[in-house]
Amino acid sequence: MTNSIENENPQEEPQNEGLDSPSNSDETPSVSEAESTPPGGTEVTVNPATFAPLEPKPQEGNGITNLDMLLDIGLKVSVELGRTLMSIREVLELSPGTVVELDRIAGEPVDILINGKPIAKGEVVVIGDMFGVRVTDIVSPAQRMETIR
């Protein structure tokens, strides 16, 4: 069997030096050791891949940055008044008028969540006929990192 590896730039040193050394003999076959003739019997030529260098594209005149493109993405904002743990029996016994006791004291700040992650605390306010939340505290970056882990 014959392997044909062509180096497009003969001035460059081959990157596969040492692959035929005895230290690699027990490991996975290297390119030079691999079979280059497929079952059909046709010889295959193996060439190294070449890629264009990665360079940043110049900014266009409109001044839009990558971050600006993300600013209109919608996020799910929810407010958590509190939590409780209930058995299946208690859930099945729920009916109109049942009061569910939560783990928060009345007047205690509520959690403001973005996509299920706490980012702030606030107080419930009434605006006309609707509820709202006044942000009173932003969760610190250190606390946010703890919720990710």
* Domain annotation for the chain: domains and CATH numbers: 74-148 (2.30.330.10)
- Which tens digits make up the pLDDT trace of 76-105? 999 999 999 999 999 999 999 999 999 999
Residue 112: CB atoms within 10 Å: 20
| Segment (H or E) for 125 | strand 117-127
- Which tens digits make up the pLDDT trace of 7-32? 444 454 444 444 444 444 455 555 44
